[in-house]
Amino acid sequence: MQALGKTVKDDTSATTHSTEDIQQLSRYAESSYELTSQDEERVLIRSKRRWVLNTIELEEESPGPYPRKLTELHNDKHLNYSIKFKISGQGVTEDPKDLFKINENTGEIFVYRPIDRENCSILNVRFDVMDKNTGTILDKTLAFNVAIKDINDNPPRFSHEILPVEIPENTKEGQLPFSLQAKDIDEQDNDNSRISMRIESQEPALPKISLVSITDGKSSMITNLIFTGCFDYDKIKTYKLLIKAWDHGTPSLSTTTTVNIAITDSNTHPPVFAAPNFNASVLEMETNKVILRIPVKDQDTPNTPASRAVFTILKGNEEGNYKIETDPVTNEGVLTVIKGKDYERTTLTELEIAVDNEEPFFLCVDGKPVTPIPEALKRSGTTKVAVKVIDVNDPPVFQNKLQRVYRVEEEEPGDVLYTPTVTDEDSDIAKLKYELVEDPAKWMSINPKTGKITLAKKIDRESPHVRNSTYTVTMRVIDDGEPPATSTGTLVVHIGDKNDNTPHLISNTSVMCGNKADRVKLSAEDADIFPYSGPFIFTLDNDDPQLKSQWKLEQSPESGNVLVSLNRLPYGNYSVPLKIADQQGALGHDVLKVVVCDCGKGDTCLGPLPRYTSLHGAAIGILLAALLLIALLLCFSFRCKEKEFVQFACTDGSPKLMSYNEEGGISDCKSAPQLYQSQSGIYQEVNPDMTRVQEWIYPSSADHFANLKRGSVKSPNGIYQGLMPEMNTFESQPYLSADHFANLNRANVKGWTKNRNNTYNNTRSGFTRSFRSVSDWNVEEHIGRKLYNLSVEQQDFPEYYPHEYSAEETNNEVVTLDKLSIYSTEDDLDFLQNLGPKFCTLDMICQQGLKEKNMNFIQN
């Protein structure tokens, strides 16, 4: 049997291989032992070796031609079966797919295209032998590896094709602050990936830069650059390096990179003062004022650490009177006085100031950096500033700016509290003037010449101007200088307390939830402090037996002072007078108002219940009985005063149609005709003699006259309705003339008149319209003229039949009759001399009231 093209003997006792072709045996035949059952002895039987596998090499990027035979598979199952071969795995069913294919019958494997080793260096291929007829796998699945042999097809690669870097001018000779890296992706441990590197060119040539390898990997290389000498920013600002990297394969491949080096400026030039000396002046005791700005020059790049100045005061500022800072915009030194100088002590100060840069100074001599730099070379020089102190008027000075005194409140005025001690170097003490600046309660007085502070009024510790039992007074002293100088001092008066206040309740109102409590807590306060305040003693401020039978006072460490009700009190408001005594026995009198109420489940009084819920059934019965009694009394009074009531109705003008059971005589009352509205909208005119009734139709809505234009319509009961020509809207209502009802007797209006005793039953819901007597003639003439003109036109309109009702209802909807008034320019206004029966009735009522009160009007 043969495997992968190598000859193997069938008895497996020996196998011949070509050692130069076979690099690795992947699997050997398995041996097994079988036990025979005939003699029950263990017999070792070695099975045949069926596969012999090794690794196959395939050169990458082979030019072909393709397909190209790679190897051939054999298996001894062909002796007993008709077999076929099948392969799978990398290069077949896995990436890179379709690289290998097999002849199923012969077992020959072919390569169909080139392969790159850098993408896949070794491929694992699985193969099986199967029965060609049934497709059954006849042997175990085995695999072989295809190793891709490397060729030098990749040059070294730098991490950057062009590398820009910045190097400070003050970089010390030696290693530069960057490195180069190159990598070759060919096979490791091979000349194809071993790299070398060198500088091909440098512009400019000095200082000399060279390469030093710090990491020499199998397939990569990291190299540092070193130099000797110094960079000079003022002469050369940029450098260009061309660096080459190559491998050692056959043929050798190489690549290059360019390094652009930019030199940044460093502090190689010290700052220089613009002048060797400066002068400045400052007022005596003046502080926080800029007195001088000092300019400097620097040849380094502006607004960099190499040129930004840092100033230092070397001499003359031992007491810390001055400070100097750098202006970030102009790079000047700003000299400021922070603590004033006394002219009497110092008139002139000389300062020595030096300047440096933020970045340390760098010095290179003859191409070699100087380390360390001598101190004399760091600074190009210093400057001196003469500061003159100008004398000014010094203010007076209090020996004690804050003085404390102790007094007890309510002391008599005249007590001297404090006499200040003041000194002034520029002025005469006798010419100083003193004033009070702050005395909120006006309790003090001050002597303007000596500053002596005297008590002018009694001090009250409980005053709102007192804080924590202290009262603060501020005074000032003014000298006679030009301009005047002032100084202030403070007097703090500590005030002792007296028992001059009585205790009182904190809250005069308290709520007692009568449904669940019988006591309220008492809380009092006193404006005085210990020992003239609490704890307080409460007692009842009244010997009234009723008060003592209702309330008592209790005191306990847990609840304090409480007011307890002795009995279950009805809900309401109660006033309890109390006496409150402090520790010294000073009594205060106060009244506690206690609200006893139902709180429900909470702690506050519930709101009042609705009215209907609080009215008992018995009360409702009493109320109904009272209303019935009032109705009976009214009926009785109407029956007793019948004649007087009728006359009143005649003079006063009733708002409803009056009903009579009999015809009577002519009334003595001469009043204007009265109109009463019936249930059907008919207005009845009742004459004073009650012998004639005229009815006026007043419809409740405009729908009653939707089809009427002009004329009059006769109803079934003989009543004529008269329409005015201009009444074409709902606001202009129609009337019936009184002449059409001349022959009507009491039977015609019986449906609207019931009984004389019921005249005022509907007074509130009815309506009355009274015409003036002086206008009766005008109204009748106007209606007559309209009816004459309508005698012909009424035939064009359908008849309207008003309804007749047997009785009036009590709640009629009444429409005002103000819109029915017919005004005439011929009215006589003399009627204003007599304002009519309504006014007469009102006058009678008023006169009666005046007589009852014995009041008289004075008439001119």
The three-state DSSP-derived secondary structure of 539-554 is EECCCCHHHHHHEEEE
pLDDT at 77: 85
**Partner residues linked to 85 by β-bridges:** 129
> Could you report the per-residue pLDDT of 20-42, keeping only the tens digit for each?
333 333 333 333 333 333 433 44
**Tens of pLDDT along 294-313?**
999 999 999 999 999 999 99
Peptide bond just before 440 cis, omega within 30 deg: no
102, 84 Cβ separation under 8 angstroms: no
Average pLDDT, whole number, for the chain?
Answer: 75
How many other CB atoms sit within 10 Å of the CB of residue 424?
20
Tokens in use for 309? Answer: 């100045």
Task: Check residue 760 and give its pLDDT.
Answer: 36
Residue 752 has pLDDT above 50, yes or no: no
Please say whether the structural domain 272-390 has been given the CATH code 3.40.50.2000. Answer: no
Beta-bridge mates of residue 617: none
Q: Which of 213-222, 305-314, 436-445, 549-558 has the lowest mean pLDDT?
A: 213-222
> What per-residue confidence (pLDDT) applies to 57?
85
Domain with CATH 2.60.40.60 in the chain: 2-149, 157-264, 272-390, 397-496, 504-607
How high is the pLDDT of residue 577? 94
Mean pLDDT, to the nearest integer, of 451-478?
94
- Asked whether the CA dihedral 543, 545, 547, 549 is positive or negative, the reply is positive
Residue 592: what are its φ and ψ, rounded to 5°? Answer: -100, 125
> How are strands ordered across the β-sheet holding 560-565?
519-521, 560-565, 551-556
pLDDT at position 835, please? 67
Name the fold adopted by 157-264: Immunoglobulin-like (2.60.40)
Q: pLDDT class for 854, splitting at 50, 70, 90?
A: low
For 36, phi then psi, to 5°, come to: -80, 145
Comparing CA positions, the residue from 79, 17, 20 lying closest to residue 53 is: 17
pLDDT of residue 604: 86
Tokens at 161, concatenated: 């094709």
pLDDT for res 64 = 80
- pLDDT above 80: residue 379: no
Supply the pLDDT for residue 490: 95
Instruction: Note the pLDDT of residue 805.
Output: 52
Please tell me the distance from the alpha carbon of residue 187 to that of residue 431, in angstroms, as a whole number: 107
How far the first Cα of the chain sits from its last, in Å, is: 165
397-496 topology per CATH: Immunoglobulin-like (2.60.40)
Lowest mean pLDDT among 8-22, 36-50, 618-632: 8-22
Q: At residue 420, does pLDDT exceed 90?
A: yes
Task: Assess contact for 822 and 782: CB atoms under 8 A.
Answer: yes
Beta carbons of 670 and 688 less than 8 angstroms apart: yes
Instruction: List the one residue out of 259, 226, 232 whose CA is nearest residue 168.
Output: 232
Q: Give phi and psi for 76, each to the nearest 5.
A: -80, 0
pLDDT category of residue 439 using cuts at 50, 70 and 90? very high
User: What mean pLDDT do residues 68-88 have?
Assistant: 88
Number of residues assigned to the chain:
860
Give the residue-averaged pLDDT of 783-802.
Answer: 55
Which of 68-82, 420-434, 612-626, 709-723 has the least mean pLDDT?
709-723
Residue 2 confidence class, pLDDT cut points 50, 70, 90: very low
pLDDT band of residue 431 (cuts 50, 70, 90) is confident
Q: What is the DSSP letter of 735?
A: B
Predicted confidence at residue 312, as pLDDT, reads 93
Question: Cα–Cα distance between 575 and 340 in angstroms, integer?
Answer: 72
Q: What is the pLDDT of residue 286?
A: 84
| Residue 109 and residue 95 in contact, taking contact as beta carbons nearer than 8 Å | no
Phi, psi of 35 (to 5 degrees): -105, 120
| pLDDT above 50 (res 425) | yes
Buried b / exposed e across 628-639, counting CB within 10 Å, b at 16+?
A: eeeeeeeeeeee
Q: How far apart (Å, rounded) are the C-alpha atoms in residues 551 and 361?
A: 97
Please tell me the predicted confidence (pLDDT) of residue 790.
Answer: 57
Return d(Cα 327, Cα 111) in angstroms, integer. Answer: 80
Q: Which of 131-135, 509-513, 583-587, 691-695 has the lowest mean pLDDT?
A: 691-695
pLDDT in the model for residue 768: 36
**What digits encode the pLDDT tens for the residues 239-296?**
999 999 999 988 899 999 999 999 999 999 989 999 999 999 988 878 899 999 999 9
User: Whole-angstrom Cα distance, residue 416 to residue 404?
Assistant: 13
Q: Over 80: is that where the pLDDT of 52 sits?
A: no
What letters, b where the CB count within 10 A reaches 16 and e where it falls short, cover 813-846? ebbebeebeeeeeeeeeeeeeeeebeeeeeeeee
Backbone angles phi, psi at 599, to 5 degrees: -100, -5
Contact 744, 827 (CB under 8 A): no
* pLDDT of res. 391: 78
User: How many alpha carbons lie under 13 Å from residue 13 in its C-beta half-sphere?
Assistant: 1
Domain formed by 2-149, architecture: Sandwich (2.60)
The enclosing H or E element of 852 equals helix 837-852
For 662-694, what is each residue's pLDDT tens digit? 444 444 444 444 444 444 444 444 444 433 444
pLDDT for residue 684: 46
Query: Residue 849: is its pLDDT beyond 80?
Result: no
Low-confidence winner among 411-415, 528-532, 811-815 (lowest mean pLDDT) = 811-815
**Which range, 113-117, 605-609, 774-778, 830-834, has the best average confidence (pLDDT)?**
113-117
Q: What is the pLDDT of residue 442?
A: 94
pLDDT of the residue at 214: 76
Cα–Cα distance measured from residue 579 to residue 587, given in angstroms and rounded to the nearest whole number: 6
Per-residue model confidence as pLDDT tens digits over 460-471 = 999 999 999 999
What pLDDT does residue 557 have? 78
- Give me 308's structure tokens: 């930004």
Contacts of 418 (CB under 8 A, 6+ apart): 403, 405, 452, 453, 491
Report which DSSP code applies to 488: E
Strand segments, DSSP code E, in 497-652 are 504-505, 509-513, 519-521, 524-525, 537-540, 551-556, 560-565, 572-581, 587-597
Q: What is the mean pLDDT of residues 361-385?
A: 81
Q: Residue 203 pLDDT more than 50?
A: yes
The residue ranking higher by pLDDT, 761 or 842, is 842
d(CA 327, CA 292): 12
What class, spelled out in words, does domain 504-607 have in CATH? mainly beta
| pLDDT given at position 405 | 94
